[in-house]
Amino acid sequence: MSSKEKPTLGGTRIKTRKRNIAAPLDTASFSDAIVQIYIDNGGDLELVAKSIESSDLNFSRYGDTFFEVVFVGGRTQPGTIKPEEEGDRHPYSVLDCAAQREAILPSVLYIQKTLRRRPFLIKNLENVMRKFLQSLEFFEENERKKLAIFTALAFSQKLSGLPPETVFQPLLKDNLVAKGIVLSFITEFFKEYLKENSLDDLIGLLKKGKMEDNLLDFFPSAKRSSEALSEHFTKEGLTSLVEYNDKKMFEVKLKEIKSTLTTMINDEAEISEVIETVKQQVKDAKFPDIEVIRMLWDVLMEAVQWSGKNQQQNSNSALRQVKAWAELLNAFCTSGRLELELIYKVQTQCYVDAKLMKLFPEIIRTLYDQDVLAEDTILLWFRKGSNPKGSCSSY
């Protein structure tokens, strides 16, 4: 018989690791627990945050429910924004606040603090915000304003990881846009955001949300025009946004005209046809005369076939281009002021472009010989020494 005895557990105390058990095991219990924390602390968000931090609640499972309680005071019915009738509610939610920055900012800071401790909840915040924004029509007008202020403050405070597309893309539902609900929401958003941020900050935010070139998408189709946009945002005191949109539209139209003109030059179209086409596009785009002159010269020079570092060949190519398209320039240089603008434009390019550095006098002489520039205009330019980027003594 073996002298070895089998090991036994008799008299041995097995240690077990302590673990926290989250009491609420369903959505209703979790929601009621959060609501109770709000009520117990009288809506003081500093105290609410401390109580939540020390709780054993399962946020990873019920994150969406947590943010529903934050926004509306209790959980909502599945797939809707309607309050769950049987659940407890508290009166300290975002939608129960006054529609003012001072009243809503504490909730933003409270969420920010929560996300720092539980960063995984950002996805739940996205889910709830997306649901609410897609359902704006079911909120009252004052509630939509509160959501707009909250959203603006969330981005202004750089709420941890909230992607701009989460906000802007759900707004583009056709029925919401058609009813003007989106325009009202985004206007309140812009007004609040620009109180503490620059226009560049806003444009950067719109760019991340893929909306910087699509401001008109927020407007109902019947009002989707630059004139309507200008009128609306001017009335709302957002003139900086109007100026930005005007600049963007100008750039778009300029690009279109330049593209058309470049194609016609490369295809060696009849000058009369080119003139007619450009005039029509300029008229449709309501383009300023001075900008037309600048654009024409840029396109003509960009279309030149430059030959590397051979200065003589480059000079010959540039002068041939000027002679070939002098009639086009002449068609738009219809006043002494525009002729003077053309000289300024040529002067600046000859000053900054090494290929044209010594060519300024010859270009001006060619433009004079081709009746694009009048003698009086050239003499006026000479007397004024107009452009600091080069002067007559530089050439």
Mean pLDDT of all residues in 168-187: 92
Beta-carbon contacts of residue 211 (< 8 Å; ≥ 6 apart): 168, 217
**Using 50, 70 and 90 to split pLDDT, how confident is the model at 4?**
low
For residues 284 and 264, membership in a common domain is answered with yes
Q: Residues 268-308: pLDDT tens digits? A: 999 999 999 999 999 988 889 999 999 999 999 999 888 76
Sign of the four-CA dihedral 345, 347, 353, 356: positive
What is the pLDDT at residue 22? 45
User: Is there a single domain that holds both residue 374 and residue 279?
Assistant: yes
Are residues 255 and 318 located together in one domain of the fold?
yes
Tokens encoding 298: 């840029």
In this structure, what CATH number is given to the domain that contains residue 319? 1.25.40.180
Least confident of 48-62, 208-222, 237-251: 208-222
Q: Where are the alpha helices (DSSP H) in 237-285?
A: 239-266, 271-285
Token pair for residue 387? 């452009």
Same domain membership, residue 195 and residue 279: no
The distance from CA 241 to its chain's CA centroid, rounded to whole angstroms, is: 11
Are 281 and 344 found together in one domain? yes
Domain range enclosing 41: 27-236
Q: Are residues 98 and 228 both part of a single domain?
A: yes
pLDDT at 18 over 70: no
At 25 the pLDDT is 59
Instruction: Establish if 11 belongs to a structural domain.
Output: no
The residue that leads in pLDDT, 24 or 196, is 196
Which residue from 229, 338, 361, 355 is spatially nearest to 288, judged by alpha carbons? 338
Q: Check pLDDT > 60 for residue 381.
A: yes
Of 75-89, 147-161, 343-357, the least confident: 75-89
Last residue of a domain, one of 236, 264, 292: 236
Mark whether 310 and 385 lie in a shared domain.
yes
Q: Does residue 190 sit within a domain?
A: yes
Q: Answer yes or no: is 17 within a domain.
A: no
Task: Looking at the structure, tell me whether residues 196 and 262 fall in a common domain.
Answer: no
**Residue 336 pLDDT > 70:** yes
The confidence score (pLDDT) of residue 210 equals 83
Same domain, 379 and 260: yes
* Residue 389 predicted with pLDDT over 70: no
How far apart, in whole angstroms, are the C-alpha atoms of residue 132 and residue 166?
A: 11
For the chain, percent of residues with pLDDT exceeding 90: 66
List, for residues 228-257, the tens digit of each pLDDT value: 999 999 999 999 999 998 888 888 899 999
Domain boundary, last residue among 236, 268, 296: 236
- The pTM assigned to this predicted structure is 0.76
Mean pLDDT of the chain: 87
Q: Does the residue 60 lie in any domain?
A: yes
109-130 pLDDT, tens digit each: 999 999 999 999 999 999 999 9
312: helix, strand or coil: helix
Confidence of residue 61 (pLDDT cuts 50, 70, 90): very high
pLDDT at 312: 85
What is the structure's pLDDT at 387? Answer: 53
Domain membership flag for residue 158: yes
pLDDT at residue 263 tops 80 = yes
Q: Residues 303, 360: one domain?
A: yes
How many domains does the chain contain in total? 2
Distance CA 3, CA 12 (A): 22
Distance CA 280, CA 320 (A): 27
Boundary (domain end) residue, out of 202, 236, 270: 236
pLDDT band at 21; cut points 50, 70, 90: very low
| Residue 129 shares a structural domain with residue 259 | no
CB 328 within 8 A of CB 372: no
Q: Is residue 31 part of a domain?
A: yes
Mean pLDDT lowest for which of 80-89, 132-141, 341-350? 80-89
- Let me know if residue 5 belongs to a domain: no
Q: Are residues 322 and 279 in the same domain?
A: yes
Task: Give domain status of residue 15, yes or no.
Answer: no
| Contacts for 206 with CB less than 8 Å, ≥ 6 apart | 164, 168, 212, 215
Residue 20 confidence (pLDDT) above 50: no
